[in-house]
Structure 1
Amino acid sequence: MNDLENRIRTSFDSQSMMHTLGAQLASIEPGRITIAAPILPSSLQQHGAGHAGLAFSIGDSAAGYAALTLMPEGAEVMTVEMKINLMSPATGERLVAEGRVIRPGRRIMVVAADVWAEIGENRKHVAMLQGTMIPV
Structure 2
Amino acid sequence: MLDTIQAINRSAAFNRWAGFDVTQAADGQAELRMKWREEDMGQYTGFLHAGMIAALLDTVSGFAAATVAGRVLASHFSINCISPAIGEAFVARGRVVKAGRKQVFVGAELFAQPEGQGEDKLKLVATANAILVPVDEASTTPKPKPAA
TM-score by length of 1: 0.91
Quote the offset at 1:65 in angstroms: 0.6
1:28-51: CA deviation from partner (whole Å, max 9, x where unpaired): 221000001112120001111111
Equivalent position amino acid for 2:122 in 1: R
* 1:1-136 alignment runs, 5 A limit: 4-41=1-38, 42-71=40-69, 75-119=70-114, 120-121=117-118, 122-136=121-135
SS at match of 1:131: strand
Contact 1:95 1:118 in 2 (8 A): yes
Which TM-score applies when normalising by structure 2? Answer: 0.84
What percent identity do the matched residue pairs reach? 28
The one-letter code sitting in structure 2 at the alignment partner of 1:46 is Y
Instruction: Give aligned pairs, total.
Output: 130
Residue by residue over 1:16-75, the C-alpha shift from the partner in whole angstroms, topping out at 9 and shown as x without a partner, is: 11111111001122100000111212000111111111111111111111000001xxx4
- Which structure has the highest strand share of the two? 1
Q: 2:97 and 2:12 mapped to 1: Cα distance?
A: 24
Q: Is the 8 A contact 1:55 1:95 kept in 2?
A: no
| Aligned-partner residue type, residue 60 of structure 2 | A
